[in-house]
Every structure is written in structure tokens, then in C-alpha cells.
Amino acid sequence: MRAGPSQDEIRRQNLGALLRYVHVHGATTRAELTTVLGLNRSTIGALTADLAGAGLVSEGTPRETGRAGRPSLVVRPEAERVYAYAYSVEVDRLRAARVGLGGAVLDRRELDRPRNLLAEEAAPLLAGALKEMHPAVPAGAVCVGVGVAVCGMVRRDDGLVRLSPPTGWVDEPIGAALAAELGIDVPITVGNVADAAAFAEHARGVAAGCENIIYLYGDVGVGAGIIAGGRRLTGHGGYGGEVGHMVVVRDGTRCECGSRGCWETEIGEHALLRAAGRHDARGRDALLAVFDAAGRGDARAQTAVRQAGDWLGFGVANLVNIFNPEMVIFGGTMRDLYLASAAQVRSRLNSIGLSACLEHVRLRTPKLGADAALVGAAELAFERLLADPLDAG
Amino acid sequence: MRAGPSQDEIRRQNLGALLRYVHVHGATTRAELTTVLGLNRSTIGALTADLAGAGLVSEGTPRETGRAGRPSLVVRPEAERVYAYAYSVEVDRLRAARVGLGGAVLDRRELDRPRNLLAEEAAPLLAGALKEMHPAVPAGAVCVGVGVAVCGMVRRDDGLVRLSPPTGWVDEPIGAALAAELGIDVPITVGNVADAAAFAEHARGVAAGCENIIYLYGDVGVGAGIIAGGRRLTGHGGYGGEVGHMVVVRDGTRCECGSRGCWETEIGEHALLRAAGRHDARGRDALLAVFDAAGRGDARAQTAVRQAGDWLGFGVANLVNIFNPEMVIFGGTMRDLYLASAAQVRSRLNSIGLSACLEHVRLRTPKLGADAALVGAAELAFERLLADPLDAG
DNA sequence: GCGGTTTGTTGTGCCCGGCAACGTATTTCG
DNA sequence: CGAAATACGTTGCCGGGCACAACAAACCGC
């Protein structure tokens, strides 16, 4: 039961809408902004002046238009001067990047992550990557935040990593550890990697313009970033989207989460490698080798892929029936699995899915590729700026 | 990429917030409204004046407060003069009601629904109920809309009932048929019965104040009304929440939807009656007889109930893992099943559910009882008024 | 260079809500 | 019973936000 916005909230929202537009769509003429945002020329002028004054955008000379009339000024995000640090904590990899307003990756570092590395041990490594990148930051540039994407369940309120079977983390305060290590005074936002990737694909990837999407992200486990009605589905505690632990086989194979027959146990890394007869292998490279082998005609690999693809379609169909999404995106290892078994996926989907839900659903692979998680993490950090550009800038 | 609200939208939203508050919470003093809505006394005064002018609220003499100071005026919804018609199309029952602003059922009619009655045949019956109720409407009262709750998949854009296996409806334009039959010029909103019930329980039932809930509604089939982040989860076409057709047994029992092993085939009416050895029975009474028998110690009935309860817990656990809701509500026949098999439900939930998701989830039965669907249908109709009180009034 | 066209800029006005001063209704206390 | 205290409604004023219109500026085609 909340009242409507006050007038300065209007201003904030309009500033945010403008900044978000140039952040997502890149340099934009003022004329275009007036039509897109539905605001008056004079208002757009005032807003850009405010944002330029805060150093968030710059106005440049117009592009050659070819048409008659005074050319419109171009509003550009300050892609170099305003940036966020983004981290992605994956099973066997730590990624760090400096991402400019506008979404460009300005700098990056990657390092292998020893399995069973705890948050307190990871934080110095992550901070080190940041310090390595720091000298390249131009003078006067300002960091608006740090975003961290972790493959695990993250408590919304404080960013505590509750449970991340693939990394072995339980109640790891990665945000606090990182804050202590960095010693810089910027807000740190921690989120789930699938959520972050979904967010990025929703903002500037294949799902641009879609309001209802499911981004399925496979690593060792499987999670989903879900956007419903244009907003992230977080759930009450922030643990929404744990579709990998939807049980698809009652009393099935034991899962790391303690339950049995989770979807993950049928389509996760372990399941596929085991089915392909590679019990000792792990990691993404091993997985790709299976897909390769299947592509080259290896019968056992083909069976494994087909079987996993069948289960992939099974679970996706269930999710489609529940959410009625506009698009399902297959990211991480799910991308490879989907591409290798699209026939099985579609077949299952068509047999299980309700026809009304199948009508408009599109199956896609990510547009942002491996960077989706990083860009999404940055997007999490930028979100604060976009909600209130002048205060957070 | 939408701009912030304009100034008259502020007004609309504030009017809506005030009207919604008295609609949900009943008569409220102006003083309370100022604190709840965070608006100034003068603003509340202006808003109530506008609403009173439109005949939506009335201001009354203050209640005895016992405290010092001038007593605050009481703002009351015009519960008799402003109303909506609500319909609920269930498998073997048609309900109609006149619901006043504030949510009170002012008048009601119920009739049996012959199975296999199509929308065009149902519309005259529904219209007849309305005409029966019409003479009792006080002079000067105004109808703000008609809400219809149907146990089936409803297209959001136009209210077409796409598929409703229990009633046998396929692409039935109940909204249009009703509009033609009624001949009155008020907007007709059609929605899913589970959605409507969830909406009602969220607004004024057990889930008041909860932002993430799953309302499980059982009739012949099973559907869910889902509220995520405080907003209804509709999905892209409006078909979200069809959890009854989440497949829980791969290649299991054939379902009316064309698929196999849907949740519905394990916990729906047919499943329970069959398991209890009552193959020829149907309807709610037959179902209640099974629960009765189980309560009295009938072994076969007990086994049937336990088995269905086990599957109920299974599906609920999956949904809890996916959505991380704050509350799960068991309505319709699911209420009876849940009450009769709470032990099984909790047991499955605890073994399958992720511990983080189980932390805060509460299992509840509806507070509004059998009226939830009707009140929810009315709520759908009121929604338009609450979004823009002065225009829609 | 000149008209036509499109856009930036500036000044004005409307609307909304906050605020403070004043009037009013009720309780409490002497 | 009456005055002080308390809380509230009402009124007028103010600042902020955006739309609008008039004017100035920049570009195109001729």
C-alpha cells in the first residue's frame, strides 16, 4: 500500500530512464530521446544537463544525418570515466573485469580457481585482479560499484552465499570479505550467476524487449535466471530460480544438495560425463570433448548427449508450462548441450508443453557469450546508479 | 525503457493508493491515512474530497477515540453504491455475486453447471443471475465492472478461454459472450480462478503483506495463482501458473492435456477417487467422502490420501525450490487434501526442498474460504477502478 | 543567400505535494 | 464549568517538475 512517487522521485526516475537508455542503447540523439521517453525537448535538455554536470554523460557533435534541419546533439554515456568492477566466481575460474557505463568491458583478468577455495581465500585473489587493473584507470574516472556473480544461492538482503555445492561454499560472506580486502568505499552487490547473465541478456542481449524469460545456466550444476513481467524473480529470500533442484525422478540419483533425482543429476556435468563413460573427467573441457565425440559419431557419447537432451527438454517443458515465458535461453554448458541435442529438446517440449504455452516461446542461445555473467555482474552494480543517478554518481 | 510518471499520474496513483487502502482495510481515519501513505494532511484532504466528489468514498463522523484532541474524520468506501459483479465458472457450479467496494459480498446466486456446457450456453445463465440480482441494487449505485474467474487457461489480452479440460472448453470467448448477453457498458475482465483466488488472499486474506506466494487451487485439475515480488505472475500470454501440467512422472499416466504424468494425474480428483476404488464417482462431494472415509479408518481411502499427499508434497517442494515463496496456500480440493495428509506433505517437502527455501516458507489454508474465487473475480474488476479512480468511476 | 525544416533554449504557466499558520473539535485538569 | 492541551481540518503560499510556445540556431536544397 504505497503512495505514488513524489516530484523529486519523478526527476530521479526520468534521470534514470535517460541514463539507462544511453547505457543500454549507446549514444543517442536528444531528438530520439524525446520520442522514446515521451518527454518534452526542454525536459530532455534539463535532464542531460544534470547528468552531464554529474559527469555521467557527455554531449557530442551531431552525426551527419543527411536530412534537413538542425542536427540533434548526441548524448553519450561516459564509458571510460564511469565504470564498475565485475567479478564472476565460477567453479574452476575466477573472472574480473572493469566495465564501463554502456556495458563495454574495458579491462579484464582471469585466473584458475582451485576447487575448494573458500571465500576468504578467494577475496585476496579477486582484490589482486582489481589492483592489477587499477593503474590503467584514467585520471578522474569514478567507480560506481562492484558486482559479483556467484554460482550459488545468494541471500538477497546481504549477499551471503548460502549454498554453492559446485564450489563447496556454505554461508560464505564473499561480499564482506571482498569489502575488507578492497578497502574502497563503493557498494558491493552479490548475485547469482544465472540471474546476472539473465539480467544482461535481458538488457542488451537476445532477450532485449522480452518481459518474460528463463535463462538456463549450466556450470557443474544448473540454475536459472528468471525475469517475469520485466522484473527479476528473486523469491522471498533471494533464492528463486533454483531449477536445478527441481526433482524430475522421484527417489532418483542422489544429488549434492541432499535430495534425490534433481534435474541437475540428469543434465549436469557429472551426469553427462558419467553417461559418456568418462567417470574421472571434470570441467568444461571434458564436457566439450563429449560433445565433440558425439559430433564425430562416437556412439556412447551420442547416447549420453541424447539422453541428457531429452531430460533437458523435459525440464524446460515443465518450466514453460509454469512460467509461460516468451523466450528460453540456454547458457553456459546448457548452450552446448542444447545445440548438440536440439532435436530431443524440441521433441520433449512439444510432447509435454501445453500448446498455448508453446505458441510464442522461442529457444535461443546467449548473444553475450561467455561475458554474460561478467556484464550481468556489472549491471547489478550499475543498477544503483541507474535508480538514482545524481546521488549514486 | 519507460520514463517516470507525469504529474497527473502522481495524482492518479495517490488517489488509487488511498482508495485501495480503504477498499482493503475498511473505514480509516484521515490521520491514519496520512501516516500510512506518507502524505501531508492537506493532500489527504484534497484526495478524499476528489474521491468523495466521485461518489467513491464518504466521510463520516469520527469514532470515539478516548484520546485528547480533535477526532479525525473517517473515510469509508461506498460499499453499497459502488460495486462489481463477480462470476466464478467452476466445473459443476456457476456462482455469481454482487460485491461492494470494500470486498463485501452484497448478493449472490449459485447454480449447478451441467458438465459440457459451453460458454455461449453459460452466458445466458450468468446473465440471468445478474438480472435476478439487479432489482436489489439501490438507486444511484454504480457498477464499475464485471470479473469472471474460470478454471482454465485465459489469454491475458482478450480474456479468451484457451483451454479448460475440466469444463471441456476450448477457445471459448466467455467475455464476449457475456458482454453480448448483458448488454451493459462495463468492462469485463476474465481471469483464471487460481489467479483470482490468489489475488484475493493476497489482498485481504492469509497472505496479506506477503509479496511472494503460491496459491494452489484444486478443482478437477490443479492450477496455481502465483504472486512474485508483489505482482501477479501472468507469463507472456497470460497462461502462467499451470503447475498442474508440470510432469512429475516421465511417461506416466495419460493426462487430459495430451501429455503424460502431469502432477494433476497424481493429485487431481480422478486420481484420488480411482486410488480409493471409486472409479465412477466424481465431484467434490465424492472427494470429501474419501477424506471422510480416510478419517474414519478406511484403509484403502487412507492409502489413497497418503499417496496423493506424498505427490502433493513432491510438487510443492519443486515449486518452493523454483520460486522461494513466503507462503503456499492450499485452496479448493487441495485444502482438503493438504489437511488430510499434512504429514506426507511436510515430509516430502523437508526431504526435497532446499533448506534455504524452506527457512521462511509457511503452509496455509485460505482465509476467504469458498468465496476466494468470487472475491478475487471482483478484485479483478475493481483493479481498473483502483488504477484510475476518477476516470473509471 | 534564402526559405523550409528540425532542433536547442528560454520564459511562462499549470499542477502537485509540502509547509506553516490559523480555526476547530474534543479531552483533560483544575 | 472553563481554560489549557491536544490533535486535526482548512487555507494560502511555496518550490519543484514538466509541457508549451516563442525565439534562436544549425542544416538542407535551390
Contact residues, A window 325-344, toward B, CB-based 8 Å cutoff: 325-326
Quickly give A70 CA vs C8 C1' distance in Å.
Answer: 9
Q: What is the pLDDT of residues A343-390, one digit of tens each?
A: 999 999 999 999 999 999 999 999 998 889 999 999 999 999 999 999
- pLDDT-derived band of residue B387, with 50, 70 and 90 as boundaries? very high
Top pLDDT among B5 and A391 is at A391
pLDDT category, B121, cuts 50, 70, 90? confident
The answer to whether residue A67 neighbours chain B at the CB level (below 8 Å) is no
B280-295 pLDDT tens trace:
888 889 999 999 999 9
Residue B220 clears pLDDT 90, i.e. is over it: no
Question: For B254-267, what is the mean pLDDT?
Answer: 93
Does B235 contact A325 at a Cβ distance shorter than 8 Å? yes
Burial degree of B158 (CB within 10 A; 0-12, 13-18, 19+): exposed
Nearest to B270 by CA among B259, B252, B251, B255: B255
Mean pLDDT value of segment A247-264: 93
Q: What is the model's pLDDT at position A283?
A: 84
* pLDDT beyond 80 at B392: no
Q: Residue B393's pLDDT band (boundaries 50, 70, 90)? A: low
CA-based nearest residue in chain A for residue B165: A354
Cβ of B324 less than 7 A from strand C: no
Residue A282 pLDDT level (bands cut at 50, 70, 90):
confident
Q: How far is CA A159 from CA A183, A257, B64, B77, in A?
A: 18, 20, 48, 43
Q: How far away is chain B from the Cα of A109, in angstroms, using its nearest Cα?
A: 32
| A294 has a pLDDT exceeding 90 | yes
Q: Which amino acid is at A17?
A: A
Question: Chain C positions under 7 Å from a protein CB?
Answer: 3-11, 15-20, 23-28
H helices present in chain A, as ranges: 7-25, 30-37, 41-53, 119-133, 174-182, 193-204, 264-267, 269-275, 283-295, 299-323, 333-340, 342-352, 355-358, 372-387, 389-392
Q: What is the pLDDT of residues A27-49, one digit of tens each?
A: 999 999 999 999 999 999 999 99
CB contact under 8 A, B239 and A356: yes
Note the CA–C1' distance, B106 to D12, in angstroms. Answer: 44
CA distance B152 to B168: 9
SS3 B222: strand
How does residue A331 score in pLDDT terms, banded at 50, 70 and 90? very high
Measuring CA to CA, which residue among B358, B184, B193, B110 is closest to residue A257?
B358
Contact A41, A34 (CB under 8 A): yes
**A148 or A5: which carries more pLDDT confidence?**
A148
- pLDDT value of position A393: 60
Q: Tell whether the model's pLDDT for residue B41 goes beyond 70.
A: yes
Q: What is the mean pLDDT of chain A?
A: 93
* A235 closest CB neighbour out of B10, B14, B325: B325
Domains belonging to chain A, first-starting first, are: 7-77 (1.10.10.10), 83-196+372-392 (3.30.420.40), 208-366 (3.30.420.40)
10 Å Cβ neighbour count for B261? 20
Q: Where are the alpha helices (DSSP H) in chain B?
A: 7-25, 30-37, 41-53, 119-133, 174-182, 193-204, 264-267, 269-275, 283-295, 299-323, 333-340, 342-352, 355-358, 372-387, 389-392
Q: Check whether A65 has a pLDDT greater than 80.
A: no
**C-alpha cell read off for A372:** 554474460
Calpha distance B101→B108 (Å, rounded): 15
Which among A210, A214, A207, A201 has a CA at the least distance from the CA of A375?
A201
Flag whether pLDDT at A280 surpasses 90: no
pLDDT of residue A279: 86
Query: Which of B4, B17, B257 is nearest residue A14 as measured by Cβ atoms?
Result: B4
Pairwise pLDDT comparison (A294 vs A117), residue with the higher score: A294
* The predicted structure's pLDDT at residue B61: 83
pLDDT class of B1 with cuts at 50, 70, 90: low
- Which residues 122-141 in chain B show a CB within 8 A of chain A? none
Q: Cβ contact (<8 Å) for B239 and A37?
A: no
Nucleotides on strand D lying under 7 Å from protein C-beta = 5-12, 15-21, 24-29
Cα separation, A15 vs A23, whole angstroms:
12
Q: Report strand pairing: A161-164 vs B362-364.
A: unpaired
Q: Say how far B218 CA is from C2 C1', in Å.
A: 77
Contact indicator for A195, A218 with CB cutoff of 8 Å: no
Distance from CA of A130 to the nearest CA of B (A): 32
Residue A91 amino acid letter:
V
pLDDT tens digits for range A104-132:
999 999 998 887 788 888 899 999 999 99
**Could you tell me if A27 and A74 are in contact, meaning their C-beta atoms sit under 8 angstroms apart?**
yes
Q: Which residues of B touch A354 (CB under 8 A)?
A: 153, 163, 239, 242, 245, 257, 259
| The residue count for chain A | 393
pLDDT in tens, A167-211: 888 898 999 999 999 888 899 999 999 999 999 999 999 999 999
Angle, to 10 degrees, between the axis of helix A342-352 and the axis of helix A333-340? 80
- Residues in chain A closer than 8 A to B317 (CB atoms): 247
Q: How far is B29 from chain A (nearest CA, A)?
A: 16
SS3 assignment, position B367: coil
Distance CA B230, CA B212 (A): 6
- DSSP one-letter code for A78: -
* A126 HSE (CA, 13 A, CB side): 34
pLDDT tens readout for residues B132-172? 999 999 999 999 999 999 999 999 999 999 988 778 888 98
* B197-214: pLDDT as tens digits: 999 999 999 999 999 999
Indicate if the pLDDT at residue B371 is higher than 80. yes
